[in-house]
Structure 1
Amino acid sequence: MSTTDNPLEFSHLNQWLAWLEQAHSIHNIELGLERASSVAAAMDLSNPSAKVITVAGTNGKGSTVAAVESLAISHKLSVASYTSPHLIAFNERIKINGENCHDELICAGFKAVYQAKQDTQLTYFEFTTLVALWIFKQQNVDLIVLEVGLGGRLDAVNIIDCDVAVVTSIGLDHEDWLGSDLGQIAVEKAGVARRGKPLIIADKDTEALLMPPCESVGAIPWLADRDYKTRVDAKYWSYTSTALAIDFYELPLNDLYLQNLAAALTAFGYCFQELLNKEISYAATYKAFETLSVMGRFQKLSNNPLIIIDVAHNPDSARLLNSKLAQLKEKGITRIIALCGMLKDKDTDSCLELMTHVDQWNLIDLPEPRGKKASELLQSLPQLSQNNVKCYASLEEFNESSQQSPSLSDADALVVFGSFVTVGLFVEYWNKEGFAWI
């Protein structure tokens, strides 16, 4: 398909996506708000009637968005969310009440943006952000949750003024665009906050980094362990907020990072405090967290045998994943087998060095041009780990080779991690083909 095809004649989502990738490649990044702002204004998308929560951060954005989404649904509110990237289907990026948006509505959004943009050249992410905002306007939802794609201050979602902003963490990732100065990265993340509105700082260790840009923006800092606190025991966690006068006791634990759940509850509480101050909210909040899971975030794809998928692809997320693996070993898992594939622009040396609880490594090539070869990943492994590693050209080759090996035992865990591409390919293969050796 060439870019000269008339998009207004497209009837299928895959046609729109193929056209978008050709005309506005996903790899072409041009940060800035002017282009998307002008088209949003033309489409009357700039001032949603819904409450808006914008989530930025190096790691933890996806679980925070999912937690806010679940809280809204359990409190019987309508909620829309926009996230990126996707694992398998583009529809995962745009959700209404927790469900992937259907093809027909997304196609209508593509058509509306295409007609409105006229000669404005949009990037891939700008185009899809406008599609999402158009869909959310049609649905007339109570709450919109926007996940920053890259940075924050100049990210396309920042054309919308949020009611409350969340910064989940500050770390190194996308260094080609954001640099390696944590202070400057904090400025970019805090750029999603608005004057007179709360900026929730979910990680107390980032307070020193985020307070200066927060003050510069004129936002109101809400700090973890100061304005809201959590406590954990063996089975439950509790939440107390001085800023919101809200207390919750014995909320259910799950495998998601607690600081992100607490930040989500704080953001939701600010937008809908009148709901959380009712007694009925305790049951709704408990329900929101009871079964909460996020695709690709320490997600258990299978319990017997234990298979976990995680999109950890930078040092901070690798460190967190490794701590989760340590907990598995405390619970009786004796051997952790890793399947890993990563992209060239990631700090693979630091990521793989941090994964100290992996006992056996399987490395796979990812597709060019961004994918790294398994042989290159091998060089990132510590010397001791290189004695127990196998390299594969593809997931299919890994599957075929594994059929000759013993199946996973009850004391084993397979952890699939690295790029979204790696996890997405594995899940797609799992759903379509299955693995005969498991």
Structure 2
Amino acid sequence: MKPDTLHSWLEYIESLHPETIELGLDRIRSVAKRMSLDKIAANTILVGGTNGKGSVVALLESIYLAAGYSVGSYTSPHLLRYNERVHINGAEVTDQQLCGAFDQVERAREETQLTYFEFGTLAAAYLVKSAKPDVAILEVGLGGRLDAVNLFDPDVAIVTGVDIDHSDWLGEDRESIGYEKAGIFRKEKPAICGDVDTPSSLVNTAADLGADLYLQGRDFAFECNSQGCRFRGVRLEWDGLRQPALIGQHQRLNVGSALMAVDCLLSSLPVNQADAASAIAATGVSARFQIARISPEVVLDVAHNPQATTALARTCGERPVAGSTFAVVGMMRDKAIAEILGALTSTVDHWYFGSLPAPRGADAAMLEDALAGINSKAACDRFADVTSAYQAALSHAKPGDRILVFGSFVTVGAIMPALS
């Protein structure tokens, strides 16, 4: 029977997901061609990178909306609702719109096998194209070169940064991963890297592809002090910008990358300083050092790799609390668990580990064992699920304490309803 609700569509799409994933764009390209999805917007920006993709998409969306443009955006994964993945002019699409888009993909795919992500990406592209936006901003799912989002040719491509994650797919080192990320660059099109330590593989791939590469620190920079912020780009020189709403030093790199994309598209999408400044000062992103409760302070963060937890530890140090810091953690079993936890061992006073559902989720004992290998004396408790872990941490926390919730989108998504 044909699915008729968003829930039934998502169950159906998940049931189609092949046991073995065949890498490459040939399958999805054939379906996209039947759906006439060759060009989905007047201007298209692809955003890849290990961390910071969601922040850069949100910043660009806010900047272009503030400047009066129509915008379609696509991100993944979601925290609470699948609808979060697709925005038209800043608003989530409806269940009805998603169901209609899924039906279009189903009709077009015929016998072609699609993964869950590929199916969703085609649906998102259909919705964005239907809205006829001035600009589409699309987040890469995994890697870049072979990712479904790379089907769409960008006018500007951004790699926010390169670090170790998804090693089974992308490689064990930054050079291997940099090559995969740079696969979203295009000949004679602006290619932006927001990493201050750019892998040579990314630089070389950009050169091989004939892309116009702009590097953070060399070609552009966003810098702040107590008086305010300034952006230096190729065409833009903006002083007197306000501090970003996004918390953490690493977010300044993301602001820089977003503004460099604006710089590159000035001829087709002019933006003035006032609109950009107001957008940067107002843009927040769920679960990126999101302070969801004040006393005790509860911070939600989807950090799930060593680079992200290193940034989380640094941000905690920049914003110290008077009391203790508790960590509520749930993670996927294929992550570099010891390295992820290790970045925060000097920050966290007590750990509360919760199991995430099999088959991908790590059980709490696995996290506890990894921590013991780093610090056998660390205070920790384990629970059947992350919600129970959070409730235990909350019962022990006092005013002046901080509770960090991190490790996975699934972890943060499970805790969010308890905070509403």
Under TM normalisation by the shorter chain, which class is it? over 0.9
Contact 2:393 2:403 in 1 (8 A): no
The residue that corresponds to 1:374 in the other structure is 364
SS in 2 for 1:296: coil
Does 1:32 find its partner at 2:31?
A: no
Does 1:261 find its partner at 2:255?
A: yes
Kindly state the Cα deviation for residue 184 of structure 1 after the two structures are TM-superposed.
Answer: 2.0
**1:11-410 equivalence runs, <5 A:** 11-24=4-17, 29-234=21-226, 236-241=228-233, 243-254=234-245, 255-256=247-248, 257-273=251-267, 276=270, 281-329=272-320, 332-355=321-344, 356-381=346-371, 383-384=374-375, 386-398=377-389, 401=392, 405-409=395-399
RMSD: 1.8
The residue that corresponds to 1:416 in the other structure is 405
C-alpha distance in 1, partners of 2:312/2:390?
24
Kindly state the Cα deviation for residue 202 of structure 1 after the two structures are TM-superposed.
Answer: 0.7
Contact 2:326 2:393 in 1 (8 A): no
- Write the deviation string for residues 284-324 of structure 1: whole angstroms up to 9, x where unpaired: 11110112111111111123332111111111111111101
Unaligned residue ranges in structure 2 (runs of 5+): none
Kindly state the Cα deviation for residue 386 of structure 1 after the two structures are TM-superposed.
Answer: 4.1
Give me the TM-score of the superposition, normalised by structure 1.
Answer: 0.90
Give me the TM-score of the superposition, normalised by structure 2.
Answer: 0.94
C-alpha distance in 1, partners of 2:118/2:415?
28
- Write the deviation string for residues 38-81 of structure 1: whole angstroms up to 9, x where unpaired: 11111111122420000111111111111111111111111111
- State the AA in 2 paired with 1:233: N
- State the AA in 2 paired with 1:183: E
- State the AA in 2 paired with 1:424: G
Kindly state the Cα deviation for residue 200 of structure 1 after the two structures are TM-superposed.
Answer: 0.4
Change (3 A) 1:270 1:37: same
Unaligned residue ranges in structure 1 (runs of 5+): 432-438
Kindly state the Cα deviation for residue 377 of structure 1 after the two structures are TM-superposed.
Answer: 0.4
Contact 1:335 1:359 in 2 (8 A): yes
Identity %: 38
C-alpha distance in 1, partners of 2:148/2:352?
37
Change (3 A) 1:420 1:217: same
Change (3 A) 1:36 1:333: farther
SS in 2 for 1:206: coil
The residue that corresponds to 1:436 in the other structure is none
SS in 1 for 2:184: coil
Kindly state the Cα deviation for residue 259 of structure 1 after the two structures are TM-superposed.
Answer: 0.4
